[in-house]
Amino acid sequence: MSTAVIWLLDLCPADYRCYQVLTRHAVALTWIAVQHTRAAIEGNQRALSTMRVDLGRALEPHVLEQMLTVLRQERERLVTAHRGACLGYSRRSD
């Protein structure tokens, strides 16, 4: 399995490693990775915008601030991963 395929599989749910169609067809795997990273970015944005309301009474303010830091760092990682997957998809679909 190539390094690129392993990286793309890491962007997807772990169970996707069981589907041979994805491990054998990089275009299909790349497309799925693009979809998953896009959805993860959307979920991260929703978490950022609702966290204080949803967890404000359950967590102390300093914990909320730590959570915001985590979510912002994760957003950066997700955006970078999404861009990489998109690059791979655009190169494959030319």
Q: pLDDT of 12-70, one tens digit each?
A: 999 999 999 999 999 999 999 999 999 999 999 999 999 999 999 999 999 999 999 99
Q: What is the dihedral of CA 94, 80, 75, 19, to 10 degrees?
A: 60
Asked whether the predicted pLDDT for residue 4 surpasses 80, the reply is yes
Check: CB of residue 28 under 8 Å from CB of residue 85: no
Asked whether the predicted pLDDT for residue 1 surpasses 90, the reply is no
- The pTM assigned to this predicted structure is 0.88
Check: CB of residue 7 under 8 Å from CB of residue 33: no
